[in-house]
Each structure stands twice: as structure tokens, then as C-alpha cells.
Structure 1
């Protein structure tokens, strides 16, 4: 019976076993859109360059793609926030039958990525895309020529995703500066994955350095600098009573928030351990590599998770699991400290913003992590929000990061909770 079944499968038309999206040219009905965040061009001939708007935000950026004689597509980008070669425009694909054994396969040639990063993406329904970061592995592949890549299709799938009408079946994305070539793109119904991808169910709790091209040059040096800052306090005999943990919003205490910091927290020899772009797993890596060691703070203020939302619109329960893992790491290393666990700040101009609503779902789960003694939950979102739920640019200029006034509001909103914890 097994032999008969195999023979029948082998006799089926190729289209039932695989979809060739690009083998020298896009499949019928599809085209390649070459994009950055300010423009788009269609690759119809040998080359396409994304046009610049009249007043570009990044004047020196450049994004282009070309089709080689052998059909390979090369994405070239420099000083770019985001550059994409995106297969789109065809009849949406029903990929439900391609799970759980399907694969996405292509030839990859990383020509240059010294100052750039890369990701692979696949659409998963309305307002939904899934991505695999490939910066570290991509840089290791530079100069090694074409390599056949095979990712399990389930690498791009999350529980609840709609694969019945995938309108963007593949995107090659670059950031910064680089040159990446891709060829022979196809989706197999049955294939063998040869390339490892993150398990989305464990990503938020698996310690990892931040894998973004715009951060890779400064992220580890900043970590080392923060370790040195803590050593300097210790060597000088200064007691660090207060620590802030988080992402770019916490890092902003050193910039837009420096006046409020000096007024409210400098007297406690406070240390701000905020790193732009960090998700829960990145903070967890930093904690496990000594960032809160060598001191004994009375209070630790932690806010982390909005980049889990912004980067991958992660299931709120998974983000909360990452927050809980960080709390456990803090308790292990600083058992005497009271943790002030902050609700994620509102983001997006209006209350119906997708990421705002997603963060609200995370915030609804956070009180269960607090016991009111060792971990105290605090939500100051209302202090940053207008009465109608909108956000003001004088408090959150980009509807995510705080202005100097915003940092002053944040500092004042913490006083009632922090001052009793920091008393002699």
C-alpha cells in the first residue's frame, strides 16, 4: 500500500507538490516589487531602482534590484531603513495544504552584508506577516557563493494565522547596506528543511543578542559600557539604589529624559539599562551576562515588551512569558530588590491603533505577575494620554518615544511608588 501511494504521489502533476514562484521570472500573474519605506518600483526588465520622493527622509539611501542572465534577482541597498524584493500581485495562494510538511526553498548568495542585515518574510493574512531574522548567519555566508536554503513553511506560521489567501508568499528584506542574491524560489508541499529557524513559542524566553543591523555595532559595546558604569559606582563606594530596565524608552533617560533624570533619580546613583530595539529575550540575555550584578539596588523599574509587539506582533501570552522570565532572573540575582513592573506605554496616535490594542492585551495579563510586595504592578498610561485616548506629539512625538515633557511626566508618576522603596 505504501508503494502504491508513493507511486500515485509521484504521478501527480508538479503543481500539486510544489509552487515555483520564480525560476528566472516570476510565476504567471506575479511580479517583484522593489521597495523601501518611501517608494516602490516594479522589476519588469533587467533593473529597477526605487524612486526618491521630493523630500526624502533618508536622502542618501538607495534601493535597487536587478535580474541576471541566469534569472537570479539581486537586491542592492545602501543606508536604507528597509529594502525589499517582494513577490506579489498574483492570485492569493492557499497554503493550508502545505502545512505542516511544506518548505520554502531558494538559492541564496550573500555578496555583502558587512554593514547590513537581512530577513525572510511571508504573508499570513490581513495585517499579518511572519519573518525569520538572518543577520548573524547571513554575515557568515558572505563570500561563500550560492547555497541552497530550505526553511520549514511552519517557520512562518503561528497558531491562528490564515494561510488560505497568502498574497505575499515571499519577501527578501535588507536593512543598512548590502547586496543579496536569490534564485530558484519555490514552495514545496513536502520537503526537508535544512536551515534552522527560531521556535516562535520559545523566542521571547530564549536569551539572545539583538539581531538588527542598525544595532549590531553598538549593542555589545553598550553592554560592556554599562558593566563598566556599575563597576565605577562600586569602586567609588557609591551605592546604587535604583535601576531601570527596558528598551529604547528606558535608554531615552540618557537623552530626552536627562533633565528629569537629574532631578528625580541621580541622587540614588540610579543606572538606566535601556537598549533601543530590545525585546524580552534580549533583556534576558543582558541580565544573564551580568548587567544587574555587582550592586544591590532597593528598587528595579522594568518595562519591556513593546518591541515584541512592534517587531513580530507576538501572542500576548508569549510576551508575558518573556516578561515573567526576566522577573525570575531578577529575583535570582537581586532577591532584596522590589521590582516595579510597568505596563507598556500606549503607542500609536489613536486608541484603535493595532499595536496599541495589542499592548493593551499584554497589559491586561501583567497584574497576575505581581504579588504587591516583591513585584508591584503600575500602569501610568493615563498620564501620557489625552482624555479621548489619543496621544500628543508634545509628549510622544513619534507616538512611541517620549519627549522631555514625557519623561518628566513619567518620573513624577513614579514618585508615590518609588519614594517609600528608596527611603533610608
Structure 2
């Protein structure tokens, strides 16, 4: 009865001109909460719901559920999940332009458990447009602290040129891995006071930081330390490291699908592959500033970085290129004798009109400005990986992003022509 009376009162409360109460015990009229897993979704219409599994789930062990408590708070429980979300959706699109630049997104958050999970907050901004704030480290620091009031500047979700006149996803709470969090009193204020910091999108690509993903946080720093130890082992054995590869999961793949090609083409040069899955330009920059290239004097450094800036936040190409430039500058400072072979971003997405493919092409169009043809050389192997009609083959890129053994063989052979004279005694 108490919850029924509470709901009836909320149903007639108007949304004031100065604030939008998206959820103060129930969603605002016309809106509902969708609870989503990577492979399905359900509507939180009653007190609790569990996202149903498909007949043949890709992640059989995952579970995502949500419940509404007597106090009106919504709890999201997720385990072994790629992506688990609470999405406020379905209402009349909101014109939030009037809430800029002083507006805030405010809510109470209770992090019950996030030891094996991650957290992000998102806001939709139109077709193919989504803005997010990472909150893994900050979220874990709040675990066990009880209900905390968070207030983010709406500009945390805004980018130059964005149009917030028809926002149909005004808030999403996203978890990854395993965890349990509770959210309540969700409101948009036209003139609020931010109390919680967020990354500045204009400098994010050039601000060094460790990778902030739940699936990487346990291995990322240990791998960094193990790679430094690998270089020290070469040094202790009197082996000269002439060739270094820097990058993300595609570069890390030299140790997996590309093992055979790496052994044939690069092992004689005592090559070191410093690829870290998920890395964006700022994560590679952190590694460079924390000893990744110390203890060696390579003749050539091959760098491929930036596609995760696209995949994670569809970043403005000029900002991604600024991140690539920052890494080039760091390499030049630390290894001035090395020639840098800058790789153009590989094609991704099955077809030429794929959004991320087109975005990477815009980045690639700016890369020639970073190469002088001598100390920094540019190599684009994209044409060798695409079909005549521009589509990608699963034989070379099984998931239309990462290379197969055959794909690594193509990359290695394309590298040979450039590397052979540079690595000559």
C-alpha cells in the first residue's frame, strides 16, 4: 500500500522547467527502464526481472537482473556479463539544449559490489551517437560506502557539434563483469552544481592513464611489468632488441594468431611485441611514460594505435590523431635513434559503409601529416586486407576487427619490404 500511494503521488508530479525527474521511485510518465544483457533485454515493469537467455547464448554463464526496492531505488545485479544496462527509454525525446552549459545529471548511487566489475554512465545523443563516462576506479572506491549523491555536468556527455534537441536515451547505467549497484533519485537539473569529475573529451586521448575496463584491470598492469622483465631478460643475455611493436589487441595478436608469422619474420631481430588488448592512445602513452621502451635501443618501432578510440567513444578524428602524435613524440624523446613505422588503422566492420570503418578512414586521411618519410614512415596495409568490393573476409578478419593467422602473414610480408633495409646490420 505504501508503494502504491507513493507511485500515485509521483504520477501527478509535474516536470518543472528547472528540472526533469526521470526517476524518483518510478520512471517519469511515458518512460520505462529496459534491463539489457549483451544478447537480450527485458522491461522492469514490476518489482524484479531477469533478462532471458537466447536458445544458444554466446555467454552462457552471464546473468543480468534488476529489482525495484520499497524505497524506490533500482538495483542492477550482473555476473560474467559483457554489458549489463539499466536504460531509461521510451518517452518523448527530450530537448536538453536548454540545459547546457550549466545543467547536471544527478542521482544517488550505492555500490554494493564491484570487485570484479566495471561501471559507466551514458547518454544518447541521436543516431549513431552515444556519450559515456568511465567510472570503474571511482566506482570501486565507493564500494561499501552506502548511498552517495553524484552530480555530473551535462557537458561531460557533450561534444562540440552535438545536438541535444531530441535525446531519447537520457540516462544509462552500464555494468561489465560482475557486480551489484543501486541507483535512485535520477534527475536532470537545468542549473545544478557538479560534484563529480569527468574526463575532458578534448584532452582524453593525450592524458596518460591505465586502461579502465573491468575485463582488463586484473592483467593490464601485470602484463606491463612482465614486458619490462622480458626486455631486461634480452638485455641480461646480451641480445639486442632491434624491433619493437606497439599497439592494442591487434598488436598483441602477434603472440596468438600471429605467432607463426612473428617467428618467421621478426624473431631473428629479438623483436618485442608490446600490444595490450583494449588500449587507446592514452593507455599506450601511459605505458611509454612508465618504462615500456626502457632498456633497449631498437632500430625500428612499429606502432598501430587508435582503433579503440573509435570503437569505445567514436572520438573526433582530430583528437585521435592528437593522441597518436603524442605517442610519436614520446617515442622520439625516448628512442631518438629509431625509425618509427606508423601503421594506418586497419579496416573494420564487414562493409565499406560500416560506421567505424568510415570513422577510421577519416583518421587515416590525417595521418600523412605525422610522417616525414624518414624518421616517421607511414604504411597502410588496408587494401591488402579488403575484397575488391570493399568488404572484409572472415578468412583474414574473423570478427571484422582482429586478424587471423592468414591476416598476420599478410601484415608480416608487407612489413618486410620496409623493415629489411632499416634492420640491416
Band the TM-score falls in, shorter-chain normalisation: over 0.9
Which runs of structure 2 are paired with 1:361-400 in the superposition (5 Å)? 361-400=362-401
Alpha-carbon shift at residue 127 of structure 1 (Å):
1.0
Deviation at 1:59, TM superposition (A): 0.5
Alignment of 1:193-208 (within 5 A): 193-208=194-209
Matches within 5 A, 1:129-208: 129-208=130-209
* Alpha-carbon distance between aligned partners in 1 of 2:324 and 2:70, rounded to the nearest angstrom: 50
Q: 3-state DSSP class of the match of 1:390?
A: coil
Q: Which residue of 2 aligns with 1:21?
A: 22
**Shift of residue 296, structure 1, vs aligned partner:** 0.3
**How far does the alpha carbon of each residue in 1:134-193 deviate from its partner, in whole angstroms, 9 at most, with x for none?**
000000000000000000000000011120100000000000000010000000000100
- In the alignment, the residues of structure 2 paired with residue 56 and residue 130 of structure 1 have an alpha-carbon distance, to the nearest angstrom, of 28
CA distance in 2, matches of 1:163, 1:420: 53
Partner of 1:272: 273
Q: 1:179-233: per-residue Cα shift (whole Å, max 9, x none)?
A: 0100000000001000000000000000000000000000000000000000000
Q: Provide the secondary structure at the position in 1 that maps to 2:201.
A: coil
In structure 2, what is the equivalent of residue 360 of structure 1?
A: 361
Corresponding residue number in structure 2 for 1:68: 69
SS at match of 1:245: strand
In 2, Cα distance between the equivalents of 1:134 and 1:210? 12
Distance 1:180 1:160 in 2: 33
Whether the 8 Å contact between 2:110 and 2:146 is mirrored in structure 1 is: yes
1:307 matched to which residue of 2?
308
- For residue 37 of structure 1, report the CA deviation from its aligned partner: 1.4
Aligned pairs for 1:5-404 (under 5 A) are 15-404=16-405
Aligned equivalents of 2:171, 2:91: Cα separation in 1: 12
Asked whether the 8 Å contact 2:243–2:301 carries over to 1, the reply is yes
- When normalised by structure 2's length, the TM-score is 0.96
Query: What is the CA–CA distance in structure 1 between the aligned matches of 2:356 and 2:332, rounded to whole Å?
Result: 30
Q: CA deviation at 1:125?
A: 1.1
Q: Deviations over 1:223-263 (max 9, x none)?
A: 00000000000000000000000000000000000000000
Structure-2 separation of matches of 1:293 and 1:421: 21
Query: Is residue 88–residue 172 contact of structure 2 (8 Å, CA) maintained in 1?
Result: yes
- Is the contact made by 2:112 and 2:179 (CA closer than 8 Å) also made in structure 1? yes
Report the Cα distance in structure 1 between the residues aligned to 2:350 and 2:70, rounded to whole angstroms. Answer: 47
Instruction: Give the CA deviation at 1:14.
Output: 6.0
TM-score for the superposition, normalised by structure 1: 0.97
Unpaired runs of 5+ in structure 2? 1-13
Task: Report the aligned-residue RMSD.
Answer: 0.6
Distance 1:127 1:189 in 2: 25
Q: Deviations over 1:280-332 (max 9, x none)?
A: 00000000000011100000000100000000000000000000000000000
Give the whole-Å Cα distance in 1 for the aligned partners of 2:89 and 2:147: 24
CA distance in 2, matches of 1:36, 1:61: 8
Q: State the distance in 1 between where 2:419 and 2:195 align.
A: 51
Q: How many residues of Structure 1 are paired with residues of Structure 2 in the alignment?
A: 412
In structure 1, distance between residues paired with 2:34 and 2:384: 42
2:338·2:375 contact (CA, 8 Å) conserved in 1?
Answer: yes
Query: Is the contact made by 2:15 and 2:21 (CA closer than 8 Å) also made in structure 1?
Result: no
Q: Return the alpha-carbon distance in structure 1 between the equivalents of residues 163 and 103 of structure 2.
A: 16
1:15 CA drift (Å): 1.3
Q: Where do 4+ consecutive residues of structure 1 move more than 3 Å?
A: none
